[in-house]
Amino acid sequence: MIDITLENGPTTTLTEGATVAQALKALNVAADRQVVAARIDGAAVDLSSPLKAACRIVPIFLDSPEGLEIMRHSAAHLMAEAVRDLFPGVKVAIGPAIEAGFYYDFDVPEPFTPEDLAKIEARMAELTAQDQPFRRDELSREQALHYFRDQGEAYKVELLEEIPQDKVSLYQQGSFIDLCRGPHIPSTGFIKAFKLTATSGAYWRGDERRAMLQRIYGTAFATPEELAHHLELLEEAKRRDHRRLGRELELFSIEEEAGPGMVIYHPKGALLRSFIEDFERREHLKRGYQIVMGPQMLKADLWKRSGHWDNYRDNMYFTEVEGQMYGIKPMNCLAHMLIYKSKVRSYRELPLRFFELGTVMRHERSGVLHGLTRVRQFTQDDAHILCMPEQVESEILGVLEFVAEVMGIFGFEYEMELSTRPEKSIGTDAEWDLATNALIGALKTRGLPYDVNEGDGAFYGPKIDIKLKDALQRRWQCATIQCDFTLPERFDLAYVGPDGERHRPVMLHRVILGSLERFMGVLIEHFAGAFPVWLAPVQAVLLPITDRVHGYAQEVARALWDADLRVEVDTRPETLRYKIREAQVQKIPYMVIMGDREAADRTLAPRLRDGTELKGVSLEAFIERLKEESRIPSPASSSS
């Protein structure tokens, strides 16, 4: 007999070998919520798992984030079974749960069509109705290799050959068997609300030199109502897609002949970006940052010294100049450290805050590139703060305050995540502990809640990642604060302390908006391209009705330009209706209609983007209105 204790609850005694499901029933776990799995002493397990010793048990409910993830992973297996049923000979690769959904990669002769997805969905519905149980089997790695080789599943064989463990687990539902750690839901009948959403090509393991597979995306929720709401959000996301809006609003383009991941800014997009850059420079100067600039490439020896060569080389581009190897910079920190080293530093100078709108290049695989949000060349609002150890927490607090103000100005809420030491890293345990504790201390001082993302820090230090939430409540990684005791050591950075001795500074790497490209992509989708007046590349367009008022239109335009307002004049020989419709498509905040009456009265007839019409507005009043709406908003509270 063994004692099974519900977390923060009662204990029951069962015979060894009883299942998790039996234990939860004996513990009277609420029956009005579906339990899909459980945690036994912290480890997630299936409900069918036998209990071998006394333990503490925590149920995982379907309507919890963890329960949804388990159900979605099971839905991926269900989809693979349906595909195998409908497309004999298909080879399966991997099928994980992802945020709000799942996918599975298949090796098939032809891409899947929308009609194929409808058939697969129908077959999945049939399989859920059968309520097939998920069964876990453990066997040796060699047995699993033998099975998948016999099945001709080369992708599973490749994965197995890289697994060091002697024992692996396979899951079966119906006729489908997959290599998987689990856990899974008890049976396919738990999958009641699902939808296949898209297909795409995907290279095996993200490597463009490997086979091109076909990926099917899907989503699943605990209830049909939640699924319907999510599908509505997906449709809204399509409407807001910054790639489509970028073309329609003439902001940017990415041309195949120029190269994937290379952004070409059109006049309106370049104007929007310039506005953001000017805002950034002003805000940094106000906070004691010094603007610096580093070269686009540095000798390979520097990248070896920093650790990038060993830990980041696959993400970098290299070139040779006169027999010397250079690395095109993926980060800006090296040049900033060289500036620091250019002379002897005193503790009285610290902290030093170096800021650069630094353009970097990173080798991203073509399969992960996505509009502005994942590119190969981008610009960061990058800064490095060099300070004494006792100044670290106050500097982190200053950055957190900076982030709060800027996100408040743009109207974003955000969440915090602490990312800890990755497996591939440099520095000592003591240095990592100091850096991690400094970040935690600052978060606690400000009373900010945060999640821990184990093993996702930079190779040189832990970090706070700040994920902003857009209008659809999607999370986007933008701002980050990284605490680094290691690179100052490698580059022998020092300052002369009050005691006249050399001391080692600490370096904080931080961005506020992050990649300007990604931030602009998020902005476009957040506002659905309808930027507020203060951000709009074109704040007003003047629409003269006849040639007779072109002179008046140019006079008004000149007055608006002199007031530092962003205005265009549309003198094309098109109908007024056509010009208004086109301005609405361009999402311009004000359309100013100008006819003979307005010219005679020296007035304007502005039409707002929402259709509101104003009559008889004086030029002076319109300028004052636009200038008022062009002011950068005051920061609003934005932390979650």
Residue 601 is among the residues annotated as catalytic for this protein: no
Catalytic option among 362, 376, 467, 566 = 362
Strand order in the sheet with 463-469: 290-291, 352-361, 377-387, 506-515, 475-484, 463-469, 413-419, 451-453
Catalytic option among 195, 240, 353, 384 = 384
Question: Are 335 and 294 within 8 A, CB to CB?
Answer: yes
Please count the residues of the chain.
640
Instruction: Measure CA of the first residue to CA of the last residue in the chain; give whole Å.
Output: 47
Closest C-alpha to 633, from 525, 524, 535? 535
Residue 229 is among the residues annotated as catalytic for this protein: no
- Find how far residue 636's CA is from the centre of its chain: 23
Tell me 134's DSSP state: P
- Report phi then psi at 609, rounded to 5: -60, -30
Catalytic option among 73, 469, 509, 587 = 509
Question: Are 425 and 537 within 8 A, CB to CB?
Answer: no
Closest C-alpha to 338, from 516, 514, 507? 507
Residue 463 is among the residues annotated as catalytic for this protein: yes
Q: Residue 147 region, left (φ>0) first, then alpha (ψ -120 to 50), else beta? A: alpha
Catalytic option among 55, 180, 333, 387 = 333
Catalytic option among 284, 463, 469, 587 = 463
Question: Are 159 and 181 within 8 A, CB to CB?
Answer: no
In sequence order, which residues have a C-beta less than 8 Å from that of residue 619 and are 6 or more positions away? 556, 559, 602, 603, 604
Tokens matching residue 80 = 């693979």
Residue 141 is among the residues annotated as catalytic for this protein: no
In sequence order, which residues have a C-beta less than 8 Å from that of residue 500 and are 6 or more positions away? none
Closest C-alpha to 359, from 310, 297, 313? 297
Q: Across 400-505, where does the E strand assignment appear?
A: 413-419, 451-453, 463-469, 475-484, 495-496, 502-503
Closest C-alpha to 300, from 329, 335, 274, 336? 329
Closest C-alpha to 614, from 580, 631, 591? 591
Catalytic option among 382, 465, 470, 484 = 382
Catalytic option among 380, 482, 539, 586 = 380
- Please give the Cα distance from 495 to 349 (Å, whole number): 9
Tokens matching residue 537 = 């590349």
Residue 384 is among the residues annotated as catalytic for this protein: yes
- Report phi then psi at 82, rounded to 5: -65, -40
Residue 382 is among the residues annotated as catalytic for this protein: yes
Question: Are 167 and 141 within 8 A, CB to CB?
Answer: yes
Question: Are 581 and 596 within 8 A, CB to CB?
Answer: no
Question: Are 246 and 252 within 8 A, CB to CB?
Answer: yes
- Please give the Cα distance from 604 to 124 (Å, whole number): 61
- Please give the Cα distance from 9 to 214 (Å, whole number): 47
- Among all residues, which ones are annotated catalytic? 333, 362, 380, 382, 384, 463, 509
